[in-house]
Amino acid sequence: MNIKQLALGTAVAIGVGLSGVMTTAVQAEDTNYVPLLTYRTGPYAGSGIHIANGMHDYLKMLNERDGGIGGAKLVTEECETGYNAQKGVECYEATKGKGALVYNPYSTGITLQLIPKASVDKIPVLSMGYGLSAAADGTVFPWIFNVPDTYWDGASVVIKYIGEQEGGLENLKGKKIGYIFLDAGYGREPIPLLEQLSEKYGFELMQYPVPGAEMQNQSSQWLNVRRDRPDYMVMWGWGAMNPTAIKEAVKIRFPMDKFIGVWWSAGDDDAAAGGEGAKGYKAMNFSGVGREFAALDDIQKYVVDAGLSSTDAETIGSTLYNRGVLNSVIITEAIRTAQELTGKKAITGADMRMGLEALDLDEARLKELGLAGFAHPMKVTCEDHAGSHPVFIQEWDGKQWRQASGWIEPMTDLVRPLLEKAAAEYAEKNAPWPARTEPCPN
């Protein structure tokens, strides 16, 4: 070994040692680590970017304005999944060892992969309004949360709404309801419930699957729609599928007021793509419309204007941006709840699970957060991890969304027994599925 190598080796050793000291110093500060599985690239980026921005900006705003939550700063890290289940699992594996509190996969495919891992790694999964509907049964899935609603809740709301338009659910008999969906785990998820409802109310359910590779090539599906002449169309689309479907619906002159999307087909860009012809298109929603909320003003002030975000200021208040904000509100309120329950500033995944299970976001708290009316009050219980909260319908007026209905309750009486049955079947299929041992914090 010559002098040069010795000097270099010593320098490297000192550097490594110093970085260790510095890391320890940084870790000594109380923090809570929230990895964000996002997608800002690929075919689903059109939807994913707004969600990612909303999630990021709210968390960042709390750090900047309040110094984090309960005296502990939030440490966030984005991992790009491209809406790909394999990449999503890679992101999970790469970040779980850093003290991850919760995962938000933003893909039903990734969620399905993470469900069996959650109880093993003791890190909860929050699939807000997506994922496996049956996971709402907290007695079987103590680590999975899909508040405020499952896809089955959504499917029941859309049928209920259509029933209202027809003067009552009994008038659905003999009607044709078309269902166009992304032919993936996400789009197929509500089919069992729609089939049940079709049987119960006597309408004909016509299915139009759109393969992922054909998202921007849907003319065949819409020609089928033109031939079949369904009375209503329901869409479960995502990414590039949404604007293409709306354009195709306009093209075949389908009455837009009878075309209703799930809350993930409610993007501003999605509807705007249809131009004037898209006026009247409807979608379900459970998060605020517009930007008249104090918390969004704070995001603008502390994050966007301060240059701490990649968000285009004009998109603050768009449907999917607000959805991302709501997701972060649920995360942060669960952290706050967990801190109160445990008395700790820096919590663990297991603490976070308790925080999510004890979540009670009432009207007063929403107001306190600067988000009065931004969402329906929501409460999670140990038995019900979704809560089947009410949903409203919004309508595109050619320029922006406006609320077009009051809050509509899902058909809980119908959905809940089916959810419990599906949860039991899942546990049986995946035996030995661990029995719940986690104490209930409520």
Q: Segment contacting other proteins (CB under 8 A): 1-9, 223-231, 365-373, 415-423?
A: 223-231
The mark string for 246-275 relative to other proteins (x by CB under 8 A, - otherwise) is -x---xxx---------------x--xx-x
45 binds other proteins (CB under 8 A): yes
**In whole angstroms, how close is the CB of 165 to other proteins at the nearest point?**
26
Instruction: Give the shortest CB-90-to-other proteins separation in angstroms.
Output: 17
As measured in angstroms, the least distance from the Cβ of 192 to other proteins is 16
Interface stretch with other proteins, choices 5-13, 34-42, 105-113, 324-332 (CB under 8 A):
34-42
> In this chain, which stretch among 116-124, 222-230, 286-294, 430-438 interacts with other proteins, using CB under 8 A?
222-230
CA distance 221 to 227: 10
Q: Does the footprint of other proteins cover residue 396 (CB under 8 A)?
A: no
Smallest gap, in angstroms, from Cβ of residue 183 to other proteins? 6
User: In the complex, what is the shortest distance from the CB of residue 120 to other proteins, in angstroms, rounded to a whole number?
Assistant: 33
Which residue is associated with the tokens 């949860």?
Answer: 423
* 224 lines the binding site for other proteins (CB under 8 A): yes
Q: Which stretch binds other proteins (CB under 8 A): 128-136, 241-249, 363-371, 386-394?
A: 241-249
Window of 36-44, 140-148, 361-369, 407-415 that interacts with other proteins by CB under 8 A: 36-44
The answer to the question of residue 313 lying near other proteins (CB under 8 A) is no
Binding test (CB under 8 A) with other proteins, winner from 23, 27, 86, 219: 219
> 127 to 186, contacts with other proteins by CB under 8 A?
183
Considering beta carbons, is residue 244 or 309 the nearer one to other proteins?
A: 244
Is residue 72 within 8 Å of 140, Cβ to Cβ?
A: no
> Nearest approach, Cβ of 54 to other proteins (angstroms)?
14
Contact pick of 161, 179, 208, 401 for other proteins (by CB under 8 A): 208
Stretch that binds other proteins, among 65-73, 188-196, 208-216, 380-388 (CB under 8 A): 208-216
Neighbours of 2 (CB within 10 A): 7
370 near other proteins (CB under 8 A): no
Q: HEC profile for the chain? A: CCHHHHHHHHHHHHHHHHHHHHHHHHHHCCEEEEEEEECCCCCCHHHHHHHHHHHHHHHHHHHHHHCCECCEEEEEEEEECCCCHHHHHHHHHHHHHHCECCECCCCHHHHHHHHHHHHHHCCCEECCCCCCHHHHECCCCCCEECCCCCHHHHHHHHHHHHHHHCCCHHHHCCCEEEEEEECCHHHHCCHHHHHHHHHHHCCEEEEEEECHHHCCCCHHHHHHHHHHCCCEEEEECCCCHHHHHHHHHHHCCCCHHHEEECHHHCCHHHHHCCHHHHCCCEEEECCCCCCCCHHHHHHHHHHHCCCCCCCCHHHCCCHHHHHHHHHHHHHHHHHHHHHHHHCCCCCCHHHHHHHHHCCEECHHHHHHCCCCCCCCCEECCCCECCCCCCEEEEEECCCCEEECCCCECCCHHHHHHHHHHHHHHHHHHCCCCCCCCCCCCC
CA 290 from chain centre, in angstroms, equals 18
Task: Give me the least distance between CB of 249 and other proteins, in Å please.
Answer: 13
Stretch that binds other proteins, among 39-47, 106-114, 334-342, 364-372 (CB under 8 A): 39-47
Asked if 43 is part of the footprint of other proteins (rule: CB under 8 A), the reply reads yes
Q: Which of 33, 42, 350, 408 is close enough to bind other proteins by CB under 8 A?
A: 42
Footprint of other proteins on 64-93 (CB under 8 A):
none
Contacting residues toward other proteins, per CB under 8 A = 40-46, 48-49, 183, 207-217, 219-221, 223-224, 226-227, 239-240, 243-244, 247, 251-253, 269, 272-273, 275
